[in-house]
Amino acid sequence: MNRLRATLKALVPALALAGAAPPAAQAATLTVVAVGASNTSGWGVGEAAAYPAKLEVLLRERGLDVRVINAGRAFDTTSGMLGRLDAAVPDGTQLVVLQPGANDLRFFGTRERRATNIDAMVARLTGRGIRAIVYDPVFPREIYQWDGIHISRDGHARIAEELAPQVIAALTPPGRTRAPARR
């Protein structure tokens, strides 16, 4: 072990002189943040079964070194998401998956205010150099839990499967193609 450390200590300056980065600096972990309300947080299924955690597993299985941060907050509205966006999305984040949910309309908001808040979040993220995917589908009834509001475990897995190709495309720099997925 000491021999390995000594070799690495000698190698790092040599790599720097040669213009190459040491292996740890060559590839940084990509950061994706999932912003949303209770369905993002995993209400009723737990954070480990929520789509952000499932998405991270799928992306890693496809060869991406990625961390997906779950920034879902129960009962949140798009106004709340907009208000906490900068705190929820750390510097260095490459992508945000914004799942605005239905709480605005459930809690007496308007469609217009909801749309304005979504646009403002995307603009703020874009201004910070962060790409955004607004994931706002009408979910089929069969993916809900008993309450008709929150997504089931199977539903979260389906959402992750649906988002994975969109996230991969968004994380791929323009003009480059991703290497085939490793299985």
33-77: pLDDT as tens digits:
999 999 999 999 999 999 999 999 999 999 999 999 999 999 999
pLDDT at residue 153 in the model? 97
State how far the Cα of 157 lies from the Cα of 74, in Å rounded to an integer: 19
Percent share of the chain, pLDDT over 70: 80
Q: What is residue 178's predicted lDDT score, i.e. its pLDDT?
A: 52
Bridge partners of 71? Answer: 35
Token pair, residue 86, equals 């900068």
Of the candidates 84, 79, 77, 55, which has an alpha carbon nearest to the alpha carbon of residue 67? 55
Q: What is the pLDDT of residue 91?
A: 95
CATH class given for the domain over 25-171: alpha beta
74: Cα within 13 Å, side-chain hemisphere: 10
Q: How confident is the model at residue 172 (pLDDT cuts 50, 70, 90)?
A: confident
Q: Specify the pLDDT at position 177.
A: 56
- Residue 104 has φ and ψ, to the nearest 5°, of -55, -50
Tens digits of per-residue pLDDT, 117-145? 999 999 999 999 999 999 999 999 999 99
Alpha carbon distance 40, 75 (integer Å): 11
Contact 107, 79 (CB under 8 A): no
Q: Are 30 and 94 a contacting pair, CB within 8 Å?
A: yes
Rounded CA separation 1/97 (Å): 42
Among residues of the chain, what percentage have pLDDT more than 90?
A: 75
- Give the single-character DSSP code of 48: G
The CA-atom distances, in angstroms, between 138 and each of 26, 41, 69, 99, 143 are 40, 18, 23, 11, 11
The Cα angle at residue 23 between residues 1 and 96, in degrees rounded to 5 = 125
C-alpha to C-alpha distance for 147 and 141, rounded to whole angstroms: 11
Average pLDDT of the segment spanning 87-93: 97
Other CB atoms within 10 A of residue 12 CB: 16
What does the pLDDT read at residue 105?
Answer: 86
The residue ranking higher by pLDDT, 171 or 24, is 171
Q: Cα–Cα distance between 35 and 138 in angstroms, integer?
A: 17
